[in-house]
A and B are shown apart, each in its own frame.
Chain A
Amino acid sequence: MEEALEKLARHLSRAFWGRIVVRPLSSSRDLEVRDALVSREAKVQPLRAEARVAAAGFAQWRRMEVRTCGAWLGRAGALRVRGGPLADLGSGGALSFRQRVKRVVLGWRLRIPSETERIRLLPQERSNRLAYLKNLPHPEGASLLAAFSPIIEGLVVKSVLDKRSGKLWVWYRSSRTRELPKHLALLRVGADRENPLRWVWLPARKGVSGKGTEAKGHH
């Protein structure tokens, strides 16, 4: 019956609307759509179990007696871990460190050697005092180049003029003497062209006058 009615309808539509057969799209031919995305979600798994420390007893030092860290670590229950104790420390303190208190000795023990003989080998230095001794009496015809003072002539073993510093190095012997110190002057003597420089001892004390005696052998 239904088929006959459909056939009649088709006949009538062809008669009134044309000869083209229009068929409805059947829903039985649904397309299958697949997900073509290639990206993947990476899942990360930790290799070791996560340990979270809830509180550490030794960190509460402000209210406690000051001792070494080892003492607090060794105290039973000092270290608590979320979810239960990390280890049973016990009252003996299985994890405690050995306490070793090192005493620091303060203060220095000095060794003070004596080197008197060694320093006796060093010469004394005398500076050039010419700036203060410009009016020093000296032989006529000679000009003063330098004057070193005070020097005790009788004690001098050796003297050397250090040309770099302009100072005179004097080695003394340690013998007794009542001799007064003098000036040792370096003079330029114009008349002697071959040996124009002379060392001359001149008296140092006020009131002691003289033209000086030539210094020999030391320089």
Chain B
Amino acid sequence: MAERGGPVLGYLLVEDREGVFEGAALVVDTRGIPLDFRYTEPVRPTRLERILYGSALDVYLREDVLLKNLVESVEAKPTLWILRDRDLLRAARRHAKVAAVCLESTSASPLDQVGILEPQGDRTTFLLQADPISAPFRLAVTEDQLSQTQKISADLVAAAEEMELGEPFSRMGKALESIREHEPL
């Protein structure tokens, strides 16, 4: 689909709404055009399951059930997975065969130059100026990806030339809403 063979971005979303778990994966080309979109049917743990799994239920469902199955289910394989929820980053990295990052929008002042990575509090968090027309993103990677951070940021900068990097999350939310309306929970 993409004329210039840029990065293929995969977006992962996992939500918990009043004890009902669901998730979605959207793979787009650098223009933001969808290549693959999958969503999970809602998972409602029973009372017995809540008792048996206890406090591990939430993590198990989000990481080992929803995230893992979503990553494995997409046919158009992305070169980079992007998440909003940092708690899921390690699990995404574990299940995916490619790089996985957490990308959050900020209201920080723009950095001097596009592509600059400014280290934050810990070793794995950076501010990334992905384009000249928005605030920098907060980029988080796992420890094992620290050596790839420059390559990852270069891919994100390349994608940001043609699309808004955080926008697909909004589309996924709308798609899930639309699906819920047609298939009420």
**A115: nearest chain-B partner, CB-CB:** B37
Does A108 touch B at the CB level, under 8 Å? yes
A127: B residues at CB distance < 8 A: 134, 164
- Whether A93 is near chain B, meaning CB under 8 Å from some CB there, is no
- Verify A119–B52 contact, CB threshold 8 A: no
> How distant is A174 from chain B, measured CB to nearest CB, in Å?
5
In Å, the complex CA distance between A195 and B37 comes to 41
A172-B39 contact given A125-B164, A132-B110, A181-B161, CB 8 Å threshold: no
Cα separation A115 to B41 with both chains bound (whole Å): 12
Are A119 and B171 CB-contacts (below 8 A) given A104-B48, A110-B66, A152-B31? Answer: yes
Residues of B within 8 A of A174 (CB): 1, 33
Asked if A132 contacts B132 (CB within 8 A), the reply is yes
A111 close to chain B: CB less than 8 A: yes
Interface size on B, residues (CB 8 A): 43
Chain B residue numbers with a CB within 8 Å of A122 are 171, 174-175, 178
Q: Is the beta-carbon distance between B40 and A110 smaller than 8 angstroms?
A: yes
Partner of A110, one of B3, B43, B164: B43
Cβ contact of A125, chosen from B41, B52, B61, B167, cutoff 8 A: B167
| Interface contact A114-B3, CB-CB below 8 Å | no
A113 contacts B175, CB within 8 Å?
Answer: no
Q: How far is the CB of B23 from chain A (nearest CB, A)?
A: 9
Neighbouring A residues of B170 by C-beta, 8 Å: 125
In chain A, positions 97-130 with a C-beta closer than 8 Å to chain B are: 104, 106-108, 110-116, 118-120, 122, 124-127, 129
Is A120 a contact partner of B49 (Cβ separation < 8 A)? Answer: no
**Which residues of B have CB within 8 Å of A112?**
38-41, 69-70, 73
Check B134 against A129 for contact (C-beta < 8 Å): yes
Given A116-B35, A119-B26, A172-B33, are A124 and B171 also a contact pair (CB < 8 Å)? Answer: yes
| Residue in B3, B26, B73, B179 whose CB lies within 8 Å of A178 | B3
Chain A: CB-nearest residue to B26:
A119
Smallest CB separation, B134 vs chain A (Å): 7
Q: Is the CB of A124 within 8 A of B52?
A: no
Is B133 an interface position by the 8 A CB rule? Answer: yes
C-alpha spacing A115/B176, complex, angstroms = 10
Residues of A within 8 A of B33 (CB): 120, 172, 174
Complex Cα gap A61–B32 (Å): 65
Interface 1/0 per residue, A144-179 and B, CB below 8 Å: 000001101001000000000000000010101110
Contact partner of B32 (CB less than 8 A), chosen from A106, A116, A133, A172, is A172
**Complex interface bits, B131-166 against A, C-beta within 8 A gives 1, otherwise 0:** 111100000000000000000000000001111100
Across the interface, do B3 and A177 meet the contact criterion of CB distance under 8 Å? Answer: yes
Whether A150 and B61, one on each chain, are in contact in the complex, defined by CB atoms closer than 8 angstroms, is: no
Interfacial chain B residues near A118, Cβ < 8 Å: 37, 175, 178-179
Cβ A155 vs Cβ B52 within 8 A: no
* A104 nearest CB neighbor, chain B only: B48
- Give the docked Cα–Cα distance between A119 and B162 (Å): 19
For the complex of A and B, list the 7 residue pairs with the smallest distance between their C-beta atoms, beginning with the closest: A129-B133, A132-B133, A119-B37, A112-B73, A116-B37, A119-B175, A111-B41
11 additional A-B residue pairs with CB within 8 Å, beyond A112-B69, A120-B33, A124-B167: A104-B52, A110-B41, A110-B43, A111-B40, A112-B39, A112-B40, A113-B38, A116-B35, A118-B175, A150-B163, A176-B3
